[in-house]
Every structure is written in C-alpha cells, then in structure tokens.
Amino acid sequence: MPAYESLPPLPTGLGTFTLSLRAAGPRHAPHFEEGDGHEPGLPRPSSSAHDLTPLAYRERQWGDGSYPPLYCPETVRVDDHLGEEVDRRLAAWVEGVGLHEGRMEEFRETGFGRLAMLTHPDSDDPDLLLVAAQMNTAWWAADDYYADESDLGATPTELPPRLALVMSAMDPPPPAGDYTLQLEEAIRADPVLVALRSATSHTSRHATPSQVMRACNTTFQMYVSWCAYAAWRYLETPPPVWRYLAARQHDSFYTSMTLIDIVGGYELPADLFYDRRFHTALMQAGTASVIVNDLHSVAREAADELPDSNVILLIAAEDDCSIREATERAVSLHNHFVRGFEASQRMLAAVPSPELKRFLRGAQAWMAGCLEWHGSSSRYQSLSKGTSL
C-alpha cells in the first residue's frame, strides 16, 4: 500500500488549508548553530503593556552643532549598563565565530550592543537585543570585508559571487551531494559567512519562520544595491544623486528595522508588513537613518583614495557647491523623509492593529537611537579611513 494511503484523512473546505499543511507531517524542528550566542540568563523585568502613542519630534543638534538640526524623535532609552551587557555577549560571540581577528579592540569600541540598546527600547532582554546586535555586526562586516575596505580584502569584481555565498549561508539551498560539502567548506572558511549564518540561527530562536525569511530576503534585496556601488567604484563613475538615492533606499537601515518586532517579542503579520502604505513608511524611516550615516561618514569617505558613494559628496560634485552647502541639502533631505514618515504614521493610525502601531513607534525609536549612536560611536568620531553601512 502506498505510504500516502496510510495517512489519516485531513479536513477539507474553506479555511482548512493552513490546518492541513500543519497536519501533513511532523513539526519541523529548527537546527541551531552551536555557539550562536544564545545566552538567555534572566531577562530584565518589563511591562506586558506597551505604549502605542507615537513619539514626539523635535529638532536635534548633531556633529559639532554648526549645521542645521535634524528633525527626529527624542531618544527613548539610554541604559549604559544594558548596552554593556549586550556588548559583552556580542564580543564573546564575535570571537567565537572568528570575526575581526586582530581587530577586537577596535570592534569593542564601536558599540554595536549599545546600538541595539538605543534602537530597540521596547525590549530589556539582552538575548533579544543580541539578535539585533549580531545581525547588524554581520551586515557591517560584509560591507567592510566585501564591499568597501580594500585593505581587508574588498574587491569590486569579487563582490557579487561573495554575496551569492552569503545568501546560501543565511538561507541554505537544498542538498546537492558532494557539491554541498564543498559549499560547507567555503562557508566555514570565511568568518563573515560564519557570522551571518550564526546570527540567522540565533534570530531563529526568537522569530517565526516568516520573520526569519523576511530578514533574509530583505538582506538579499540590499545586495542588488551593493553590486551597483561596486560597479560605480570599479568604473570610477560616480552616479547622479537620483540614481544613488534609488539604490540607497533599498540599501538603508530599513534592513535593520525588519528586526523591530523580533526583538520586541511579537510579530507584525506579513499582510500588514508588506502593505504598500506600511512598506513606504518603513522605507522613509530607513532612508532617513541612512542619511544620518552619510552625514557622519562624509569626512572619512572624502579622504579615501577611491571615495564611496555618499549623498553629500555626490551633491557637492553634481551641483558644484561646497561640502557645507551639500551637507545642508542632505539635512533637508533627511528631514523630508522623516516628515514623510510622520505623515505615513498618521495615515496608518486608522488601521486597528496594536502590532502595527507598536512597530511604527519602534521605527521612530530606531531613528532616534540611530542618531544617538552615530554621535557617540568611535566608528564615526575620527577622520581615519573607514567605511559606513
């Protein structure tokens, strides 16, 4: 008798598809990477009730205070003790996966654990905050070692095939016999790939399969823009500002913001997350935050022999204006995106979803914490050669 004939009958009719899918086989038990950083301990006490009221905006000074202010919410939480605990766990994980060998002191000073603390204030659990710290650390490492830092091995012509391996590390393809063994050998030989796979594993401990694939697919979307940057650098043909923004909006802190509900311990349903109105809002928030990154990176990137694409440098070259004037225009662009998000959030307020309201407030907190972090991280406090996200 064929095996399928021995299966128990399943319900049929409207609304039974999902039930049938779940009942058709044994529950999938996810595999977690050994040493993926999971260290639950005792989470800090936190209230089960979360404030869904949108944060207020104000004009905030940045840099040396000589430029026009950035329109942004106030930072929700600064808890240095919590940030240090996340950084402690993060450093142990980074050493374990072999990332930043010989550069650990510099890495510790960057403070990606503090970034997670500042940008995800609706969680006090260091293991959940570690999810954001690990993923951002791994994304930044791929950018440094693959895309931008030639002294770390970054080569424009090697970037696309390296990114294809990243996709296989985060989202394993079906087994292909001996070829899979060769793939595994390549992944385990590259600390960036090990870090990305390990970070995805830890994310899977706290996220639903839908949330994990959302983070993966958004990462892969970001890589299309990375390939464009590589071509512009290789050909030494800086793009016009409009083309840079078209790429940058899909390579922004939108990717980091996909983790907001995972770190918060809830899930925004996919039909809301991918609703065009919400998608636009989150892209506005992500793009505003990545312009903050450009603002804090411009001096270092201008000093590079082959400058990265940076909106300030591109505006200055295209409009034949000073760096100061270009910076003021970039600030105006940032504020435009923030006000766009503010309008989108008001429009979405009519949707009867607590998860949606919480996520939108989380995006506000992310913008605020991002600005706070860029103003304090060692990564952006000198003119030494370096990279940005």
DSSP string, 45-90: P--S----SPPPEEEE--TTS-SPPEEEEPP----HHHHHHHHHHH
Per-residue pLDDT in tens (0 to 9) along the chain, 389 residues: 433 334 344 444 444 444 444 445 555 566 788 899 998 866 666 555 788 999 999 999 998 899 999 999 999 999 999 999 999 999 999 999 999 999 999 999 999 999 999 999 999 999 999 999 999 999 999 998 998 877 888 888 899 999 999 999 999 999 999 999 999 999 999 999 999 999 999 999 999 999 999 999 999 999 999 999 999 988 989 999 999 999 999 999 999 999 999 999 999 999 999 999 999 999 999 999 999 999 998 877 776 666 668 999 999 999 999 999 999 999 999 999 999 999 999 999 999 999 999 999 999 999 999 999 998 887 776 433 333 34
Contact 39, 127 (CB under 8 A): yes
Place of tokens 């919590």: 82
Encode burial over 70-96: b for 16+ CB neighbours within 10 A, e otherwise: bbbbebbbeeeebbebbbebbbebbee
Cα distances (angstroms) measured from residue 179 to each of 115, 165, 173, 182, 193 = 39, 13, 11, 5, 17
In angstroms, rounded to a whole number, what is the distance separating the alpha carbons of residues 263 and 256? 11
Task: Choose among 34, 22, 40, 19: nearest CA to 206.
Answer: 40
Contact 389, 373 (CB under 8 A): no
In angstroms, rounded to a whole number, what is the distance separating the alpha carbons of residues 303 and 108? 24
In angstroms, rounded to a whole number, what is the distance separating the alpha carbons of residues 50 and 36? 29
Quote the pTM value. 0.89
Q: Can you give the C-alpha Rg of the chain in angstroms?
A: 22
Query: For 159, phi and psi rounded to 5 degrees?
Result: -60, -50
Place of tokens 């892209």: 283
Q: What token pair was written down for 149?
A: 């830092």
In angstroms, rounded to a whole number, what is the distance separating the alpha carbons of residues 48 and 46? 6
Q: Within a 13 Å sphere around the CA of 32, how many CA atoms are in the beta-carbon half?
A: 11
In angstroms, rounded to a whole number, what is the distance separating the alpha carbons of residues 269 and 20? 20
DSSP 336-348: HHHHHHHHHHHHH
Task: Report H helices in the chain.
Answer: 17-23, 80-97, 104-110, 112-119, 126-142, 159-170, 178-188, 191-206, 209-235, 241-248, 254-257, 260-264, 270-273, 276-302, 311-319, 323-348, 354-374
Q: What token pair was written down for 167?
A: 């996709």
In angstroms, rounded to a whole number, what is the distance separating the alpha carbons of residues 310 and 60? 22
Query: For 310, phi and psi rounded to 5 degrees?
Result: -145, 130
Pairing mode of beta strands 57-60, 70-73: antiparallel
Convert 369-382 into a string of H (helix), E (strand) and C (coil): HHHHHHCCCHHHCC
CA dihedral 112, 114, 116, 121 (to 10 degrees): -170
Q: How many residues does the chain have?
A: 389
Task: Choose among 133, 24, 25, 140: nearest CA to 89.
Answer: 133
Sign of the CA dihedral with 113 first, then 167, 281, and 206 last = negative
The pLDDT of residue 85: 96
